[in-house]
Amino acid sequence: MEKLIDGKAISEKLCESLKKKITTLKKSAITPCIALIKANDDPASEIYVSKKEALAKSIGIESRVYKFQPGIKQDFLEELINNLNNDPAVHAILLQLPIAKNLDSKKLINLISPEKDVDGLTSINQGRLFAGEDCVVPCTPQGVLHLIHSVRQNISGMYAVVLGRSVIVGRPMISLLLNNNCSVTALHSKSENVAEICSNADILVSAVGRPKFVTKDFIKPGAIVIDVGINRIQTPDGKKKIVGDVDFDNVWDSVGAITPVPKGVGPMTVAYLMSNTVDLAINQNKKKLNLI
């Protein structure tokens, strides 16, 4: 078993399989299409949207990008989302977070049709996931689960610990692991005995946004460790560096398998954004594809 979980290579393999699906869909005059909405002046968001746009183009997905600066009105974005909901050529809608502070992100997200909610963030899709029903699953947790399965396909009965309880990663990750018959503990900023609890985990998923927070004393020997954290730090020589939540070098000898940062979870998130877009395009064209 490879100790390093290469998210970049695994995501590329997933995208190759998506290309084949998209080619088949285009033979039926269906081109999967995603609308990306950016409403902030955050440089990181600009990079993320550009990466999503580039990957979509490379595998044959159409992308429509809407970029707005802070000061854009809430009602304007609400009208845009409603128009995209009603456009049959658009199969997926993503509101890039965070958005400008003057905007109500939860209201905007819940305006997105659950059938076009590509990152599974509407309350309806979140509720369906919690209930174990068919739904659109958030992209990052899907990517994490794929990486776990790349190490061990059957995780039923394993003990998993999730560090973090965000709506985007932590909470849906907990539901996904429960739906895969894991025993799950959720830890967060108010939890006590964090290292001790983590040290019993067969699977440890960290999404707390604290650089090198997870050290060797958190790790059960042989554990699968998935690092969702993306933290920008300054090195002693003044350079900027991206590191995860996990102190990679410190835990390396203890883990059974671990994702790096970068090139771990990040590429899987974008790949599953594309995968969800393709699935939504298929679901919205079942009649045309003779699937009903």
Domains of the chain (ranges plus CATH)?
29-116 (3.40.50.10860), 139-266 (3.40.50.720)
Give the residues across from 38 on adjacent strands: 67, 96
Q: Is the confidence at residue 147, as pLDDT, over 90?
A: yes
CA separation for the pair 60, 274 (Å, rounded): 10
**What three-state secondary structure class fits 92?**
strand
What's the rounded Cα separation, in Å, for the pair 127 and 60? 31
Q: What is the pLDDT of residue 43?
A: 87
pTM: 0.95
Confidence band, pLDDT 50/70/90 cuts, at residue 287: confident
Per-residue pLDDT, 197 = 98
Q: What integer pLDDT is reported at residue 23 of this predicted model?
A: 97
Distance between CA atoms of residues 207 and 191, nearest Å: 14
Q: Is the peptide bond before 98 cis (omega within 30 degrees of 0)?
A: yes
In the structure, what pLDDT confidence band is assigned to residue 75 with cuts at 50, 70 and 90?
A: very high
pLDDT at 236 over 90: no
- Residue 246's pLDDT is 98
Average pLDDT, the chain: 96
In this prediction, residue 184 carries a pLDDT of 98
Check pLDDT > 70 for residue 73.
yes
- What does the alpha-carbon distance between residue 185 and residue 104 come to, in Å, rounded to a whole number? 31
Q: Is 96 a catalytic residue?
A: yes
- The mean pLDDT value for 22-34 works out to 97
pLDDT for the residue 42: 87
Model confidence band, residue 4 (pLDDT cutoffs 50, 70, 90): very high
Reported as a pLDDT band with limits 50, 70 and 90, residue 1 is low
pLDDT band at 49 (very low <50, low <70, confident <90, very high): very high
Of 52, 202, 245, 284, the catalytic one is: 52
What is the arithmetic mean of pLDDT over 98-105?
A: 94
Is pLDDT of 22 > 70? yes
Active-site pick, 38, 116, 117, 119: 119
Q: Looking at the chain, how many residues does it have?
A: 292
| Known catalytic residue at 3 | no
Q: What is the pLDDT of residue 124?
A: 98
235: pLDDT confidence band, cut at 50, 70 and 90? confident
- Model confidence at 290, pLDDT cuts 50, 70, 90, reads confident
Catalytic residue among 96, 126, 142, 284: 96
Order of all β-strands in the sheet with 183-187 = 183-187, 159-163, 203-206, 224-227, 257-258
Catalytic-residue membership of 101: no
Residue 292 predicted with pLDDT over 70: no
What average pLDDT does the segment 203-227 reach? Answer: 97
